[in-house]
Amino acid sequence: MIQLEINNKQVDAEAGERILDVLKREGIHVPTLCHMKDRLPTGACRMCVVEAEGNSQLIPSCAYPVAEGMKLHTHSQRVLRARKTIVELLLANHPDDCLYCVRNRDCELRGLAEELQVRNRRFFPTHTKTEDSKTDYSNLAIVREQSKCILCGRCVRTCEEIMSVSAIDFIKRGSNTRIGAAFDQGLGASECIQCGQCILACPTGALSEKSHLDSVRNALADPRLTVVVQHAPSVSVTLGETFGIEPGKDVEGLLNAALRKLGFSHVFDTSFTADLTIMEEASELVERIQKDGKLPMMTSCSPGWVSFVGEFFPEYKENLSTCKSPQQMLGALIKSHFATKANLSPDAIFSVSLMPCTAKKGEAHRHGDVDAVLTTRELAALIRQSGLDLNALTPETSDTIFSERSSAGKLFGATGGVMEAALRTAHHMITGKNLANLEFRPARGLESVKEAIVKIDSLTLKIAIVSGLGNARKLLEEIKAGLREYHFIEVMTCPGGCIAGGGQPHQTDLAKIKARMMALYQIDKKATLRTSHENAAIQRIYKEFLGAPLGPVSHRLLHVHHQAEVQTEQ
């Protein structure tokens, strides 16, 4: 334990602690831009500088360790002047189009300018439109508006350190420095897997999703189209936050009501096809084990992960389950089964999905069937734009044909959920009975890698659950080196799963992710229908339309051959 003085007050700290952490504990707010919790500091933005007596330099509190007897001033005239100058310098090189900006509501740079009371332009504007600051639209899911980039490097670190993709890095030098993909080609030509975590990391409007809002609005206004919508499991436990509702509150009923008010003719729940995925995927797993198929089998519902395997581990492509993701399964059923039932031509249906994810935009583009994908952020914007007050609506249920879902399907929204749901059904498939205790604890929680050995009758299943592609890469490399062996692995692209997806609101933090996760567990706890195979709607659709899991109709509509898919993508 050491003692130091902060703003003339004695403070205790652990040796080796960084100043910023001590300041947070003491309730002293110091602005940051490049700082990322739990990541090694890079010390790039210099916003968090503080004055240390006896040091001619101002020191970055994010990177500097405390020392015995240190005397710090966090908001002295000198410090404030430096911070303000830094923001002024950034603004000089930033387009003044806040009013048109996608981050108009929650830009961190704008917040800093306000906090530090920047009121004059002291520096020359340097944000001339050049070839270098062009906006990059080449990616199917992510738009990079380079002129708004302040080079804090958070996206680069997220892409490299958390996702281990490294699609982007700093390029060029000096005042020409910017962020770019390899060979300065567009992001679309890079190894980007479209997870969108960089968007969550970005403090400004430099990174955003490729918006499908216009096409959705146009479709809603087109009388020739029947516009249907599906919402992913994690959307209903997140959306409330953007309307002032406490984190972790499920607003499914309100969401259904809002969507109908917006003009969607049918509201479906993607959790229904999550149940269907379980039927197909559990059958596939049993078949692979019984018929000596490729193992470990790996889940395929997270499109970022599927692209990741194609990009970095092509030798494991055949380990991916051939099941389409729930979004694409529902998309396929809407344009086939639903179209027939509703007596509509598939062309007359405009199918929209609401996803916590940007990679789903790319996935929909690759497979077709879904016409537009809105992220949770875009959904919130759509609701707000239409003047709806979510709090003032009366909850409604979704439309029956594809809406009856088990809580197992809903669990897909969090890391471990697919595994838990699959085990419930696999157990029943093999033994004919349900598990005594449906809740599978080892699959729950936010740990990056979870593993377990599951015994079902004579079958011993070794399973692993991993979220965050950096963790997935490590696991895969260990499997490759023969250090680990599994039958079944669930992989979610984003750390924590869809509840922390790249399409979720910008203010997503660990506390909110936990709250969303707890909400999903609560839904499961309270539910009466908790297994996919017991879902009457699922049983019905097999009887009426699909036949049996892995049957010819399923094969045509619900499965892909990933190897082929990745090849056509390239």
Partner 1 sequence: MHKLQRIQDICCDKCWHDADKACPDFIRCLSEGPLCHKSESCSEKRKTFFSYASRHTLTRPVIFVGAGTCGLGAGAQATLNAVKQYLELNHVDAEIVEVGCIGLCVAEPMVDIWLPGKTRVSFKNIQATAVPPLLHSVLVEQKIPLEQILGQFEADDSLTPWKGVPLLSEHPFFKPQKRWVLANCGVIHPSHIEEYWATGGYRALEQVLGHHTPAEVCEEIEKSGLRGRGGGGFITGKKWKFALQTPAEQKYFICNADEGDPGAFMDRAVIEGDPHRVLEGLAIGAYAIGASIAYVYIRAEYPLAITRLKEAIAEAEKHHLLGTNILDSGFNLHIKIKMGAGAFVCGEETALIHSIEGKRGMPRPRPPFPAISGLWEKPTVINNVETLANLPLIITKGASFFNAVGTTNSKGTKVFAMSGKVCNTGLVEIPMGTSLRDIVFAIGGGIPGNKKYKAVQIGGPSGGCIPEQHLDIPIDYESLKTVGAMMGSGGMVVMDEDTCMVDVAKFFMDFIQRESCGKCISCREGTRQLFQIYERITRSHKSEKGFDALDRMQGIMAMKQLAEVIKETSLCGLGQSAPNPMLSTLRWFPEEYEAHIYDRTCPAKVCKDLLTYSIDPDHCTGCTLCSRNCPTHAIQGVAKSAHVINQNECIRCGSCDEYCRKGAVLVQ
Q: Which residues pair with 142 in a beta bridge?
A: 209
Q: Closest distance between partner 1 and the C-beta of residue 125, in Å?
A: 9
Interface with partner 1 (CB under 8 A), residue from 37, 104, 123, 439: 123
Find the part of the chain contacting partner 1 (CB under 8 A) among 116-124, 360-368, 539-547, 548-556: 116-124
Q: Which is nearer to partner 1, 56 or 345 (CB)?
A: 56
Find the part of the chain contacting partner 1 (CB under 8 A) among 56-64, 333-341, 480-488, 550-558: 56-64
CB contact at 8 A, 300 and 363: no
Q: Which is nearer to partner 1, 37 or 172 (CB)?
A: 172
3-state SS, residue 504: coil
Interface with partner 1 (CB under 8 A), residue from 8, 56, 290, 568: 56
**492: alpha, beta or left, given left = phi > 0 and alpha = psi -120 to 50?**
beta
Q: Nearest CA to 534 among 428, 402, 417?
A: 428
Q: Nearest CA to 282 among 533, 534, 560?
A: 533
Please write down the long-range contacts of 287-296, taking CB distance under 8 Å and 24 or more positions apart: 287/550, 289/459, 289/487, 294/318, 294/319, 295/319, 295/486, 295/487, 295/488, 296/464, 296/479, 296/485, 296/486, 296/487, 296/488, 296/489
CB contact at 8 A, 498 and 412: yes
Q: Closest distance between partner 1 and the C-beta of residue 134, in Å?
A: 18
CA distances from 368 to 332, 353, 387, 502 (A): 8, 12, 31, 21
| Nearest-angstrom CA–CA distance, 22 and 185 | 42
Bridging pattern class, strands 459-467 and 449-456? antiparallel
Q: Closest distance between partner 1 and the C-beta of residue 33, in Å?
A: 8
Q: Closest distance between partner 1 and the C-beta of residue 558, in Å?
A: 44
Q: Closest distance between partner 1 and the C-beta of residue 121, in Å?
A: 8
Q: Closest distance between partner 1 and the C-beta of residue 124, in Å?
A: 5
| Cα atoms found within 13 Å of the Cα of residue 482, Cβ hemisphere only | 0
Q: Closest distance between partner 1 and the C-beta of residue 172, in Å?
A: 7
Residues in 150-179 that interact with partner 1 by CB under 8 A: 150-151, 153, 169-170, 172-177
3-state SS, residue 53: coil
Interface with partner 1 (CB under 8 A), residue from 58, 309, 418, 476: 58
| Nearest-angstrom CA–CA distance, 556 and 536 | 23
Q: Closest distance between partner 1 and the C-beta of residue 51, in Å?
A: 9
Residues in 22-41 that interact with partner 1 by CB under 8 A: 41
Q: Which is nearer to partner 1, 83 or 405 (CB)?
A: 83
344 near partner 1 (CB under 8 A)? no
Block residue for tokens 């281990």: 164
Interface with partner 1 (CB under 8 A), residue from 7, 21, 63, 367: 63
Q: Which is nearer to partner 1, 58 or 219 (CB)?
A: 58
Residues in 70-109 that interact with partner 1 by CB under 8 A: 78, 81-82, 85-86, 89-90, 92-93
Q: Which is nearer to partner 1, 176 or 343 (CB)?
A: 176
DSSP state of 194: -
Chain residues in the site for partner 1 (CB under 8 A):
41-46, 49, 56-58, 60, 63-65, 78, 81-82, 85-86, 89-90, 92-93, 122-124, 126, 150-151, 153, 169-170, 172-177
